[in-house]
Amino acid sequence: MIRLTHDGAVGVVTLSHPPRNLIGDEFIDRYCTAQEDAVAAGARAILVRSDLRHFCAGADVKALGPGDGAASDPAAVLDRLESIPVPTVAAIHGAVLGGGFELALACDLIVAAESAQVGAVEVTLGLVPLLGAIQRLVARAGPARAREITMLGRRYRPAELERLGVVNLVVPDGELEEASMSLARQLAAGPTVALGVIKRVVSIAVNDGTRAADEALSGELATMWASNDVRRGTEAMFTDGPGTAVFEGN
């Protein structure tokens, strides 16, 4: 259903629940656990991908009902995903609908195959997105676009979502695996402490505003300055020039 493997410092979380990676409670729990296990094993970045024809076509509608299914405690699920301290990259292709779109939106960066079909389609069932799409689309694209995408329930091509700021990078279908892994490896090779600070400050800015993020940043700086990554980065700058540091993530 969910597999965790490692590519160097990248934890690779593969969705493999035939035929369309439909979401239910067990699926969501294993998905969150795989990311948590990746961090516990020392991953410095996480790549989320699918080895099926589709990334994820949404929730298993047969399992949905009041208080049931993947939406039984969405706040707890989102809290687990938001608590992942390392950068996360979603590599999406095929159908990326409903809850599948939400899994991607919960990642830090989204790389999309150009032929993917992406949408928050819950409204076609008389539902609202249950795993954070509304608020994450507000953060990525603004309230007007969030209303449009979730109220109309349309399917979008990634190029349009890239223009709106929802998707970070669109690549030809045959280049998705290489492009997304390259990005994940770049993040995994970066200053892990600093990247974790960036994740947390961005989240606070989105949720609580700029002033709260300013205050939070002040509290984060001591940890960053004390990290070995800063020492390596500054030493490399003076000896070999900017951008030459080899970080070890501590």
Q: Is 86 helix (H, G, I), strand (E, B) or coil?
A: coil
Over residues 5-24, the pLDDT tens digits come to 999 999 999 999 999 999 99
Q: How far, in Å, are 16, 26, 30, 93, 208 from residue 54 at the CA level?
A: 10, 19, 18, 6, 35
Task: Give alpha helix (H) positions in 130-209.
Answer: 133-141, 143-152, 158-164, 176-188, 192-208
pLDDT at position 100, please? 97
Coil, helix or strand at residue 181: helix
Count of residues making up the chain: 250
User: What pLDDT shows up at residue 70?
Assistant: 52
Look at residue 69 in the predicted model and tell me its pLDDT.
Answer: 52
For the chain, the average pLDDT equals 94
Same fold, 2-188 and 192-239: no
Q: What confidence category does residue 62 fall into, taking pLDDT thresholds of 50, 70 and 90? A: confident
Eight-state DSSP code of residue 65? S
Any idea which fold 192-239 has? Lyase 2-enoyl-coa Hydratase; Chain  A, domain 2 (1.10.12)
59 is catalytic: yes
pLDDT of residue 121: 97
* Angle at CA of residue 6, ends 17 and 19, nearest 5°: 10
Does the global pTM surpass 0.85? yes
Catalytic residue chosen out of the listed positions 38, 43, 59, 245: 59
**Over 80: is that where the pLDDT of 26 sits?**
yes
Active-site pick, 9, 95, 112, 122: 122
- Residue 102 designated active-site: yes
Domain range list for the chain: 2-188, 192-239
38: its two tokens: 């990746």
Q: Which of 94, 99, 100, 132 is catalytic?
A: 99
Concerning whether 100 is annotated as a catalytic residue, the answer is no
User: How many Å apart are CA 82 and CA 67, to the nearest integer?
Assistant: 22
Task: Name the residue with tokens 């830090």.
Answer: 108
What would be the CATH architecture of the domain defined by 2-188?
A: Alpha-Beta Complex (3.90)
Who contacts 219 (Cβ-Cβ below 8 Å, separation ≥6)?
A: none
Cross-strand bridge partners of residue 119:
97
With b for 16 or more beta-carbon neighbours within 10 A and e for fewer, the 182-192 pattern comes to ebbbebbbbbb
Rounded CA gap, 98 and 119, in Å? 6
Annotation says 177 is catalytic: no
pLDDT at position 246, please? 92
